[in-house]
A and B are shown apart, each in its own frame.
Chain A
Amino acid sequence: MAKGSPFRGGGGAGDVSLNMTPMIDCVFQLIIFFVLATQAASAALSKVELARPHKSQSIPSEEVESPNRVIINVVSKDPEGKSADMMEAAEADRYEVMKERIEVGDVEKLVEIIQRRKAEAVEAGSITEKNMEEEFFIEIRADKRVNYQYVAPVIKAGVEAGIRKMNLTALPD
């Protein structure tokens, strides 16, 4: 009878087995890579195409990471850039603040949200009435293809809500 036959019985000296070690090594390497590289999807960041200005002066957002900010996304009608019509991308579909959808041009609603967030920050103790102007800010995260007329109401809302600091989101050079 051939060596390694299943009918040989005994201690199974001739058992055929796959060498699993290199495969497990590779799989673990891959998992570690994905765990480190994956960024948890943030509710504050909508799908938008950001501007990359020439010699960008943008500072890494990690440096300004603060709970005292309101990120206002201006989402294009063509967020994926699939439409052949250039003018479709130039129109804003909605504003988004933490997945809350706001109609384009609804300044009142934006002001209400900013005020609410400001009040929450004061209540939580992260800002005071005194340092509010310096510590609380809005972040405009608009799609680069959208016309200025759709972003202007966001700026207006910031002014009406009494905000002094405003950051524009852009990609580094």
Chain B
Amino acid sequence: MAKSLDRARSGETVHYEPPRKTRGPGRRTIQPPLTPMIDVTFQLLLFFLVACEFRETEGLIPGTLPIGDVRQVIVVELPDPIQIRLRPSADRESANYEVTGVAVVITNPEELFTELKVRQTELQTRDVPVVILPAPDVPWNFVVEAFNQAVRAKFAKIGFAREIY
């Protein structure tokens, strides 16, 4: 308004200008439509929330399978294989490991490892076969445990008895 008055006073012709024009461009900004993007994003988020399943990383304990009957092969090749007999405890929470030549029944994996390590040191070879003979009702957990301790003791030939005793 003040500007128009100044212009009128100086003799200039002042034309009417609507308020819409005098207000200028205002605070109007260009914005892309966000709604579809947010919709899709939420769909994706929901999908992943529902479908996601967290799983522990799995590992593998390498081993070999025998050719034919394990016990036969061992008897021919080496007269003194190390046999680990497995029996479950009454509550199935632990297992008894009977190692050939050891009078005491081992119940702890660490003790089993120590015994196997002692044997290996005595025999001074990794090639002595270790045969695991689990009872039919032993939980697989303890069979894997025995196998793992034999691998840990660095025995090269670890196998299972083919027939269940």
> What are the nearest 8 A-B pairs in CB distance?
A58-B59, A34-B48, A11-B26, A149-B136, A144-B141, A53-B148, A54-B109, A51-B144
Establish whether residues B140 and A169, one from each chain, have CB atoms under 8 Å apart when the complex forms: no
Establish whether residues A148 and B61, one from each chain, have CB atoms under 8 Å apart when the complex forms: no
11 contacts across the A-B interface (CB closer than 8 A): A12-B26, A59-B59, A59-B61, A60-B57, A145-B140, A155-B65, A158-B65, A164-B64, A166-B64, A168-B61, A169-B61
Establish whether residues B26 and A61, one from each chain, have CB atoms under 8 Å apart when the complex forms: no
**Interchain CA distance A57-B146 in the complex, whole Å:** 11
CB neighbours of B141 from chain A (8 A): 51, 144-145
Contact of A151 among B34, B58, B62, B143 (CB under 8 A): B143
Provided the pairs A27-B42, A37-B52 are in contact, do residues A55 and B113 lie with their beta carbons within 8 angstroms? yes
CB neighbours of A159 from chain B (8 A): 65-68, 162
| B49 at the A interface (CB under 8 A) | yes
Q: How many residues of A contact B (CB 8 A)?
A: 57
Provided the pairs A159-B68, A171-B56 are in contact, do residues A35 and B149 lie with their beta carbons within 8 angstroms? no
Measured CB to CB, the residues of B under 8 A from A are 20, 23, 25-28, 34, 37-38, 41-42, 44-45, 48-49, 51-68, 86, 92, 109-110, 113, 134-141, 143-145, 147-149, 151-152, 160, 162, 164
CB neighbours of B61 from chain A (8 A): 53, 56-59, 167-170
Number of A-B residue pairs with CB-CB distance less than 8 Å in the complex they form = 179
Least CB distance from B135 to A in Å reads 7
Contact of B140 among A28, A51, A64 (CB under 8 A): A51
CB neighbours of B149 from chain A (8 A): 53-54
**Interchain CA distance A54-B144 in the complex, whole Å:** 10
Least CB distance from B59 to A in Å reads 3
Provided the pairs A59-B59, A149-B164, A163-B65 are in contact, do residues A27 and B41 lie with their beta carbons within 8 angstroms? yes
Establish whether residues B49 and A34, one from each chain, have CB atoms under 8 Å apart when the complex forms: yes
